[in-house]
Amino acid sequence: MRRYLRLVRIFVGATLSAQLEYRANFLGAVLASLGEVGVALLGISILFGQPGVTQVGGWSFREALLVTGFFMLTEGVISVFIQPNMSKIAEAVRTGNMDFTLLKPIDAQFNVSTRNLNVLRFPDLLIGLGLIGYAASGLEVTPGGALAAAVLYGSAVVIVYCIYLGLSTTAFWFVKTQNVTELFSGVFGAARFPVAAFPVPVRFVLTFVLPVAFITTVPAQALTGALGGGLALASPLIAAALFLGTRWFWRYAVASYTSASS
């Protein structure tokens, strides 16, 4: 365990020093982050700006803003921690560089999942947290609610990571998996609104088929105290099941890896 913590420190140091070479990009990245939050806010304010609309699917503006905050935060988590690592799996399989990863005396899944960071998108995390803080400041939030939200958001991050890893692991068989993660981003776009804002059949799909509801809606509900016990329990269970499932899938994929020349 101590060894892995030390490795994380080394990885972070290495990726930071590599990216600080391109400091000038930071400005562009900040611009992109601001644009993204601006558009997210425009979307939600148009929705609530119509005459006679005070709530969407039973959610007030502040509550929906909370969901937008969790959406931005998750976008940040994906682009800072998850995407930079997962996008390299397919590349490594294609070029055969996966050999080096597998030869190292540490867990290969740990290595491919933590090696890289995209610090340029760090502002996304701050913007997401800022939005959540702003939205929550106008709502009644109990300490218990905040704690539950934090825990449930943790399992949301695990769910997102597992979906990404599962999709990227298919690279061991299909080389062009970059596109499959695109598909996830497409579905994830629905997470910018509470699931209650969708028609009933879609709501069902977003909760039980594609676990989008657990990523943004459930933590937001936990924060406002509107969450039922069933969903609160389901989220960590799904996260755990997905984690074990992708772990198994990853090992299975690595076992059938035959390097690049074959």
Measured from the CB of residue 221, what is the shortest distance to another protein in angstroms? Answer: 18
Beta bridge partners of 56: 59
Query: Judged by CB under 8 A, does residue 39 bind another protein?
Result: yes
Residue 197 vs 213, nearer CB to another protein: 197
Question: Whole-angstrom Cα distance, residue 8 to residue 213?
Answer: 30
Question: Residue 60: left (phi > 0), alpha (psi -120 to 50), or beta?
Answer: beta
Question: Whole-angstrom Cα distance, residue 36 to residue 124?
Answer: 9
Pick from 129, 180, 232, 254 the residue near another protein by CB under 8 A.
Answer: 180
Query: Judged by CB under 8 A, does residue 126 bind another protein?
Result: no
DSSP-based helix, strand, coil % in the chain, nearest 5: 80, 0, 20
Q: How many CB atoms lie within 10 A of CB 107?
A: 13
Let me know: does 128 contact 28? Beta carbons within 8 Å.
no
Residue 23's φ and ψ, nearest 5 degrees, are: -55, -35
Judged by CB under 8 A, the chain residues 19 through 38 that form the site for another protein are 22, 24-25, 27-29, 31-32, 35-36, 38
Residue 32 vs 119, nearer CB to another protein: 32
Query: Judged by CB under 8 A, does residue 78 bind another protein?
Result: no
Residues 200-239, one symbol each (x = binds another protein by CB under 8 A, - = not), give --x-------------------------------------
Place of tokens 């695109």: 182
Q: Kindly tell me the burial class for residue 64, based on how many C-beta atoms sit within 10 Å of its own C-beta (0-12, 13-18, 19 or more).
A: buried
Judged by CB under 8 A, the chain residues 149 through 178 that form the site for another protein are 176
Pick from 1, 5, 52, 103 the residue near another protein by CB under 8 A.
Answer: 52
Pick from 82, 117, 145, 192 the residue near another protein by CB under 8 A.
Answer: 192
Let me know: does 224 contact 145? Beta carbons within 8 Å.
yes
Query: Judged by CB under 8 A, does residue 119 bind another protein?
Result: no
Q: How many residues bind another protein (CB under 8 A)?
A: 40
Residue 42, helix vs strand vs coil? helix
* Interface with another protein (CB under 8 A): 22, 24-25, 27-29, 31-32, 35-36, 38-39, 42-43, 45-47, 49-53, 56-57, 176, 179-180, 182-183, 185-187, 189-190, 192-193, 197-199, 202
